[in-house]
Amino acid sequence: MADGPHVTIWNEYRHEKSDENVAEIYPQGIHGTLDAMLKEAGFEVRTATLDEPEHGLPEEVLDTTDVLLWWGHVAHDEVSEETVDKVHERVLGGMGLIVLHSGHFSRIFKRLMGTTCDLKWRLDDTERLWVVAPGHPIAEGLGEYIELGEEMYGEPFDVPQPDELVFVSHFGGGEVFRSGLCYRRGRGRVFYFRPGHEENPSYHNPDVQLVIRNAVRWAAPTPGAAPVYGHYEPID
């Protein structure tokens, strides 16, 4: 394996095939845009989509994935229980997971959070993501905030309190949202990053791309020693 983390980008890949406007923004799919950007940054990257066999995530792919990105929206329920089980197990074992935008309602994110992950929403707003943790590695290299034309997501966001909060968003319509959240689950790291509505070109934005590259490095496994569970003889 190369030096940096091996990345797999999972994309539902439906809007891009059915909606001309989306296809214009992401002609190779959302995963295609992310793939090109991460490769250019020197990462080893693969993509996987819902309609491939095993949703593009057979054992051999997961076995060699350090960080998995996840974008889904209209077809969360088509992701098989088996795939959710496998990804869940991998994350708890150390694989990083970056959940993007509407992936907040994905089966894998809800499984990891244990809550509804519900929120408010509205199309066609303006978002300003403020850095609230300026020393966090995921904010490295940013200015004070990122500005986007985006869908609005509003609080309350029904997730557990994050281990670290990196971004808080301001929306033109009057709402706020915790938009960059770090979690440790098992030996794996999970980062939820809000932007990325399919009708907005957010994944072409250089600062959004920078955050995702930073997050990939942050989420890379540091597995340590395998934990020991089960029956255990006394030491003393």
- Name residues contacting its own copies, limited to 168-227 (CB under 8 A): 168-176, 178, 183-189, 221-227
CB of 140 to its own copies, least distance (A): 5
Which residues sit opposite 122 in a β-bridge? 152
Closest CA to 37 of 26, 22, 52, 51: 26
Tokens 């994944």 belong to 203
- Shortest Å, Cβ 15 to its own copies: 18
Candidates 111, 149, 199, 201; binder of its own copies (CB under 8 A) is 111
Q: Which is nearer to its own copies, 53 or 174 (CB)?
A: 174
> Applying CB under 8 A, which part among 1-9, 13-21, 73-81, 121-129 lies near its own copies?
121-129
Separation of alpha carbons 91 and 174, rounded Å: 35
Angle in degrees, CA 121, 84, 158, rounded to 5: 30
Sole binder of its own copies in the list 28, 130, 199, 201 (CB under 8 A): 130
Binding of its own copies by 77 (CB under 8 A):
no
If the CB atoms of residues 23 and 133 are measured against its own copies, the closer one turns out to be 133
Backbone angles phi, psi at 32, to 5 degrees: -65, -45
Rounded CA-CA distance 72/63 in Å is 22
- In the complex, the smallest distance separating the C-beta of residue 174 from its own copies, rounded to whole angstroms, is 3
Give yes or no for a cis peptide into 156 (omega within 30° of 0). yes
Give the DSSP letter string of 126-167.
Answer: EEEEEES-TTSGGGTT--SEEEEEEEEEES---SPPPSEEEE
Does 234 participate in binding its own copies (rule CB under 8 A)?
yes
What is the footprint of its own copies within residues 132-151 (CB under 8 A)? Answer: 132-137, 139-144
> Is residue 42 close enough to count as binding its own copies by CB under 8 A?
no
Q: How far, in whole angstroms, is CA 93 from its chain's centroid? A: 17
Binding its own copies (rule: CB under 8 A), the pick from 59, 82, 158, 204 is 158
Question: Nearest approach, Cβ of 52 to its own copies (angstroms)?
Answer: 26
Query: Stretches 9-17, 41-49, 165-173, 191-199: which one binds its own copies (CB under 8 A)?
Result: 165-173
Residue 171 CB neighbours (<10 A): 20
Residue 33 or 102: the one with the smaller Cβ distance to its own copies is 102
Residue 53 as a binder of its own copies (CB under 8 A): the answer is: no
| Contact assessment for residue 26 and residue 202, using Cβ atoms and an 8 Å cutoff | no
